[in-house]
Homo-oligomer: A and B are copies of this chain.
Amino acid sequence: MAGATNRLPKLPVERALKVIAGRWKPVILYYVFDGPKRLSELKRMMPDITQKVLIQQLREMEEHGLVRRQIFAEVPVRVEYSATVLGLGLEPVLLSLCAWGQRHAKEQNDIPDVADCIVRPRRAPGATAAT
């Protein structure tokens, strides 16, 4: 089954969409952009996703070169998922998607209860949320 997933659309836009449009992929990317994460961490951060789907989405993104899976052969095996350079290149794209999404929400008078965008650049450690 693996290897068949790289049958991606020819058109670049559709290719990009296909790769990031998984139900949880944007959210996973958001967390992974922040730094390497363990499976259990991600699971804890996203209580609504089932473990099966989480791994599934991670596998796809791994196959598409967005995230990297590293196994540390320590006493209890540790597995970390981190963003690749290619994956990091998605950050600005997701940001523009987010910006447009907010604009769209406003224009449809459908303000989400989440005030700010979940996909955004990491904030400086000490920076307070100005604005």
Residues of A within 8 A of B (CB): 6, 8, 10-17, 19-21, 26-27, 64-65, 86, 89-90, 92-94, 96-105, 107-108, 110, 112-114, 117-119
Contact = CB atoms under 8 A, between A and B. Distances in A.
Contact of A26 (B13, B92, B93, B113): B13
B108 A6 contact: yes
B98 A16 contact: yes
Given A11-B119, A86-B103, 20 more contacts: A6-B108, A6-B110, A10-B113, A10-B114, A11-B27, A11-B114, A12-B101, A12-B104, A12-B114, A13-B94, A13-B97, A14-B101, A16-B97, A16-B100, A16-B104, A17-B20, A64-B108, A90-B100, A93-B93, A93-B96
